[in-house]
Chain A
Amino acid sequence: MTAPPAPRRDLAAEPEVARLCDAVKSAAAEGRVLLPRGGATRDGALGPFSGEPLALAAYAGIVRHTPTELVVTARAGTPLLELVETLAAAGQRLPFEPPLPAREATLGGAVALGTSGPARAYRAALRDALLGVTLIDGTGTVCRFGGEVMKNVAGFDVSRLMAGSYGELGAMLEISLRLEPLPEWSQTQALACTLPEALARMPALAARAGALSGLAWLDGWLLARFEGSAVEVELDAKAAGGETLLPEDAATRWARLREGPLSAKGDGALWCLSMPNDAPALELPDANWALDWGGARRWVRSTADPGAVAAMLAPHGGHGLRLSPSVVRTPQPAALRALEQRVRQAMDPSGVFAHGATPGEGP
């Protein structure tokens, strides 16, 4: 008989994990609230957060990267940039093109926020690439959900639930992700047009099966990015028309779209709106727009008040996050919020992670 190659490691036996479990247990017993924290790079943009920081940045490092398997398992405190660089050296990447706000930003933080970049609309969201998460739940116990396999329907999909959970369901320890090969070729076609023209053209560009990996509108240019084999990219880029951007120029523009293309400084408020791609160009006062995800994600700086933004999104089933001057989220239905609260309690019965950084709370 062959010896099992991957015996289940007992994470709770690691001194650092045992210490974290104890910290959670004693906080839960004493009624204190903890804030699982990675690189603390989003405190300014998305905070202020309450709760005592539970530092996870030191719990870092790639546990297992099997290039032939297109899977990586890394500790939650692993710097995202380090992970991205390590994967690139092996000819691979994360399929969801995560924002890389600073060197300190961690993998765990990225999963907690659940944010994905321009490739999200045509390749994968962060949650799509999540295969497994090991975490400390609200009782201070290590739990392992999912794993490193592509398909796994045993038990509820708690791993994917962690994407965008804002650290309110537990403290993540290890995260397993599906990877993709770096594309052989990447090319961006640019077309000068207005925002309504861009919205009108985008569906036709997305209607073609192929190498499309980004569709945006920025500074008066419709941008269509194609990634894959050289043959495929060339065919699709030709069909798209427009002019071909120089690689460095294209990379700069997509990096802007990935990180948030509009400056947080300036007049009015900065919003990131999510709506169906066929919603029309919306009228907001003094607005400056950028489009991503083929029109399904819209960044805007405007002097409109939150109520006006929510009212404008509602008929389209959209929602929004105001990023500056302070964080505001368009409201969610009450029944859904109540259910979410019960789900949080299921993972964290005593509310040790109930630090209130909850998305979906209204202004």
Chain B
Amino acid sequence: MDRSALAKALARAVPGLEVIAEPEALRPFESDGLTALRQLPLIAVLPTAVDQVQAVLRYCHREGIPVVARGAGTGLSGGALPHEAGVLLVLSKLSRILEINPTRQTARLQPGVRNLAISEAAAPYGLFYAPDPSSQIACSIGGNVAENAGGVHCLKYGLTVHNLLAVTIVAVEGELLTLGGPTLDAPGLDLLALFTGSEGLLGVVVEVTVRLRPIPAQQEVLLAAFDSIRASGDAVAAVIAAGIIPAGMELMDKLAVQAAEDFVHAGYPRDAAAVLLCELDGEGPVLEATRARVMAVLREAGAVSITVSDSEAMRLKLWSGRKNAFPAVGRLAPDYYCMDGTIPRRYLGEVLDAIAQRSEAAGLPVANVFHAGDGNLHPLILYDANAPDGVARAEALGNEILALCVAYGGSVTGEHGVGVEKLDAMCGQFEAPELTRFKALKAAFDPQGLLNPGKAVPTLARCAELGGMHVHHGQLPHPELPRL
């Protein structure tokens, strides 16, 4: 079906539905946060009610048309990249906060509610929503569920999956289903856990019930400087080993520290090889006791200086460097490529050293800014997409880093998702038996494969072909596929 025919048919099938079919009007939807990959959908639709979402899916299911759901479009792995022959289902207009229930400590939300708006709405009740991805000003809860979003504070308070009670989805054939419920545990299989982080492959989120938590009495941040990246990584492991779970623990290496300092003047020591930000929360006396323990561990681990925020203004200033680190690093080179691997925390120092070696060998600088407490690395590979082989070299180094994470018992993605970006890397983490089960689970929800096709789970054929890539280095398979 061509663009205008589909637009007309859907508008007829779903009264009142906003349909966008002009290529120029579709342009803003051609990519998500991974802007290197672009694709116009056949059409985009912006439903304003759940029954419209159901009607769209019913129609597409009947006609065999692919559907890609999209929230705020902040995802970093191309999970919301449109399908050339499909409908882009934009959920940003379903953006009402349906209920804040302070007694239950829950919020009921439409999928387009922005992450930060939840905490803002809950604040008058002394509550907040803990998962706080760096895009929290813009990203929406439906996308957070689809990606199992993390953030700085998930070290202590958990990921999206730990803070959900229920998700109402529209299944591929248009049926409304609620996974989980208003109770702490739901009967039957934990389909809520299976659905969380399923990247739009299993259904479309139309309502989310999240758990809220009491706002801590006070927060403060410790900034510790180290004279080697290895020592800083080992310090993170030492804090956890001491049985302390801070609210957040973030690391930045020298390149990131200097870039952030030049950009926002957060007051970081420019000569440090690494800076560790450690957030603590609780009531005054509790903070004091924890601070003393953390400082002792950090000194023992080789911290050369420790600064403690003495006001909310100073706490926010110290965080500003971390929060602006990506754009700050972005000023150092024409392009950067953000990786998202995870490793067991005890190997942080070792793996950071290994990344530095590979960076040097590849001749591409790597800045590290990441959720150290969770072992979630975000190496930012600096490159120039216009240089000969620039993209290929950056991608090759990225794949080396992800392979390193897998070799250390980790994962190719901690919070950004697989999307289209890490389909090849998935082949290194999983083998045929697991991929076969993933495919079967997908089919249990969506037998025709209409929901977000081609994302998140690579085909066995792709992985088999990729096996050859490592033998014939430099000759990438699937030259037709867009690549970073």
Residues on A close to B: CB < 8 A? 1-2, 4-7, 66-71, 91-92, 114, 116, 120-121, 124-125, 127-128, 137, 141-145, 147-158, 160-161, 163-165, 169, 180-182, 203, 206-210, 229, 231-232, 235, 274-278, 293, 296-297, 316-319, 321, 329-330, 332-333, 335-337, 339-340, 342-347, 349, 358-360
* Residue pair A339, B445 in contact (C-beta under 8 Å): yes
A and B contact pairs by CB, cutoff 8 A, 27 listed: A5-B408, A71-B344, A125-B184, A150-B376, A150-B414, A151-B159, A153-B411, A153-B417, A153-B418, A155-B430, A155-B456, A156-B194, A156-B197, A156-B457, A160-B190, A161-B190, A206-B105, A207-B214, A209-B216, A209-B281, A229-B289, A319-B181, A336-B188, A339-B177, A339-B444, A346-B437, A346-B441
**Known contacts A152-B411, A340-B188; A274 and B183 CB within 8 A of each other:** yes
Shortest CB distance A260–B (Å):
15
Mark each residue of chain B from 417 to 435: 1 if its CB lies under 8 Å from any CB of chain A, else 0: 1100010011001110110
**Known contacts A232-B282, A317-B182; A153 and B197 CB within 8 A of each other:** yes
Complex Cα distance A321/B367, Å? 53
Q: Which residues of B contact A330 (CB under 8 A)?
A: 187
User: Contact partner of B413 among A145, A154, A360, CB < 8 A?
Assistant: A154
**Known contacts A161-B193, A163-B190, A347-B440; A151 and B184 CB within 8 A of each other:** no
Return the chain B residue nearest A232 by Cβ.
B286
Return the chain B residue nearest A358 by Cβ.
B188
* Residue pair B241, A67 in contact (C-beta under 8 Å): yes
* Residue pair B184, A148 in contact (C-beta under 8 Å): no
* Residue pair B444, A342 in contact (C-beta under 8 Å): yes
**Known contacts A343-B444, A347-B440; A151 and B415 CB within 8 A of each other:** yes
Q: Which residues of A contact B426 (CB under 8 A)?
A: 154-155
Q: Which residues of B contact A278 (CB under 8 A)?
A: 101, 103-104
* Residue pair B162, A151 in contact (C-beta under 8 Å): no
Q: Which residues of A contact B279 (CB under 8 A)?
A: none
Return the chain A residue nearest B376 by Cβ.
A151
* Residue pair A207, B408 in contact (C-beta under 8 Å): no
Complex Cα distance A346/B429, Å? 21
Shortest CB distance A187–B (Å):
15
Q: Which residues of B contact A91 (CB under 8 A)?
A: 243
Q: 8 closest pairs, A vs B, by CB?
A: A181-B243, A68-B241, A160-B193, A4-B407, A360-B188, A151-B414, A346-B440, A209-B214
Interface-lining segment among B66-74, B265-273, B308-316, B345-353? B345-353
**Known contacts A155-B457, A343-B444, A349-B440; A149 and B343 CB within 8 A of each other:** yes
Q: Which residues of B contact A164 (CB under 8 A)?
A: 185, 188-190
* Residue pair A274, B159 in contact (C-beta under 8 Å): no
Complex Cα distance A71/B346, Å? 11
Q: Which residues of B contact A232 (CB under 8 A)?
A: 282-283, 286, 289
**Known contacts A151-B150, A231-B289; A335 and B433 CB within 8 A of each other:** no
Q: Which residues of A contact B178 (CB under 8 A)?
A: 336
* Residue pair B215, A209 in contact (C-beta under 8 Å): yes
Is B375 located at the chain interface by the 8 A CB criterion? yes
* Residue pair A209, B441 in contact (C-beta under 8 Å): no
Q: Which residues of A contact B418 (CB under 8 A)?
A: 153-155
Return the chain B residue nearest A6 by Cβ.
B409
Q: Which residues of B contact A143 (CB under 8 A)?
A: 433-434, 437
Shortest CB distance A133–B (Å):
11
User: Contact partner of B148 among A6, A116, A157, A345, CB < 8 A?
Assistant: A157
Shortest CB distance A146–B (Å):
8
Complex Cα distance A200/B68, Å? 45
Complex Cα distance A151/B415, Å? 7
Q: Which residues of B contact A5 (CB under 8 A)?
A: 347, 350, 408-409
Is B140 located at the chain interface by the 8 A CB criterion? no
Q: Which residues of B contact A277 (CB under 8 A)?
A: 103-104
Return the chain A residue nearest B159 by Cβ.
A151
Q: Which residues of B contact A208 (CB under 8 A)?
A: 214
Q: Which residues of A contact B182 (CB under 8 A)?
A: 275-276, 316-318
Is B213 located at the chain interface by the 8 A CB criterion? yes
User: Contact partner of A156 among B188, B415, B441, CB < 8 A?
Assistant: B441
Within 8 A of A (CB), among B346-388: 346-347, 350, 353-354, 357, 371, 374-376
Q: Which residues of B contact A181 (CB under 8 A)?
A: 243-245
User: Contact partner of B237 among A68, A114, A127, A153, CB < 8 A?
Assistant: A68
Is B141 located at the chain interface by the 8 A CB criterion? no
